[in-house]
Amino acid sequence: MPVTPQDPTPLPHPYRPQDDQPQDHHAQDHQAQDEAPGTVIGVDFGGTKTEVALADSRGRLLARERLDTLAERGPDQTLARAADAARRLARESRERHGVAVAAYAAVAPGIVQADRILLTPNLPGWERLALSTRLAEELDTPSVAVANDVRAGALAELRFGALRDADPGLYVSLGTGIAAALTVGGQVLAGAHQAAGEIGYVNPGGAPVDAVAAGHAPLEEIVGGKGLGERAAELLGRSVSAAELFRSTDPDARDLAEHALTVLAVTLANLCAFADPARIVLGGGMMAAAEVILPTLERLIADATPFPPELRAARFRRDASLHGAVTLAIDSLHTHRRERGGDRPRPTAPLGALR
């Protein structure tokens, strides 16, 4: 059954200009509904779990359902069960909130292209899946915006979180793997192959030139939570998470954590030299140890680049992909309004354009 979640306090509505005058909150809510009537539904597909959320036009989650992905059974059953959950939430939107769902969006790991999803080994069979088309058919809706989960998480931070008012901005997800997203001019850069930000494949030095062709992700193997956890377990003789590793007082563990953060800092400094971001926002499960990671990276990056950016923890450290799916749906709704001759253009990301 749907549950009502607890979310961070909503920020000012990102699709309406702000001024310096105090504003009536009830008037703001009415204006927001005028700009984006109805609710949206976002779907976050993962290798282990799939979540479906109903949200208002400010990105505030109203209800959500969690499902086991059961990836080993293929994509068809996952899509069907997710669509059933979306229909239940759409019914709740009508019956409880008195409005219809105005837009849908979905995110998944990997390179989400129009007719396939690449580099997503945890979802077997999805490499031949046209996600947007299939979901539109399942939900009997004209279109469903789709995108990579990390890029969508960056979109949530750009619209509602720690990347607001930062241009350019860099979002970095530190989880089981590592990925990033560059935001410029109110947009999340998708790339020619929907693969911008796949920094796990960056070679920080030391790996063979053909490491990627041989199936490796050099930076991710050093910095990603999975690789760190495996090396920490081998070093300490017990299972340990990446966050626990960063807090450990064991000398060997501290050396391992310091090496990983140094490699990450050098990589981010190199990206700063190229893109000159105003702010780097870090999210993902490893940020459970933010009190260690943030000051260490701040110090190292300051020494490695002439114009160090501001560093912040992400607003959506948990459920970033789900908030990303919701934000993608909101952005797609405003894009459709503009295409139909709505009022002034609004900033939208070049994500979710695949049909």
pLDDT value of residue 275 = 97
Same domain, 301 and 175: yes
pLDDT value of residue 235 = 86
In a domain, 23, yes or no: no
Mean pLDDT confidence for 324-346:
71
pLDDT value of residue 242 = 85
Same domain, 168 and 298: yes
Q: What is the pLDDT of residues 24-39, one digit of tens each?
A: 333 344 344 444 468 9
In a domain, 26, yes or no: no
pLDDT value of residue 341 = 53
pLDDT value of residue 162 = 97
Same domain, 141 and 188: no
Instruction: Look at the chain and report how many structural domains it folds into.
Output: 2
Same domain, 166 and 309: yes
Same domain, 145 and 184: no
Same domain, 131 and 65: yes
Q: What is the pLDDT of residues 53-98, one digit of tens each?
A: 999 999 999 999 999 999 999 999 999 999 999 999 999 999 999 9
pLDDT value of residue 14 = 57
In a domain, 32, yes or no: no
In a domain, 136, yes or no: yes
Question: Which residues form the domain of 292?
Answer: 162-313
Same domain, 211 and 235: yes
pTM (predicted TM-score) = 0.86
In a domain, 194, yes or no: yes
Q: What's the whole-number average pLDDT of the chain?
A: 87
Mean pLDDT confidence for 291-302:
96
Q: What is the CATH number of the domain that holds 331?
A: 3.30.420.40
Q: What is the pLDDT confidence band of residue 21, given thresholds at 50, 70 and 90?
A: very low
Same domain, 180 and 232: yes
The rounded percent of the chain whose pLDDT value lies above 90 is 76
In a domain, 299, yes or no: yes
CA nearest to 277, candidates 197, 355, 210, 177: 197
Same domain, 78 and 219: no
Same domain, 90 and 219: no
Same domain, 204 and 143: no
In a domain, 135, yes or no: yes
Q: What is the pLDDT of residues 211-244, one digit of tens each?
A: 999 999 999 999 999 999 999 988 888 888 888 8
Same domain, 259 and 210: yes
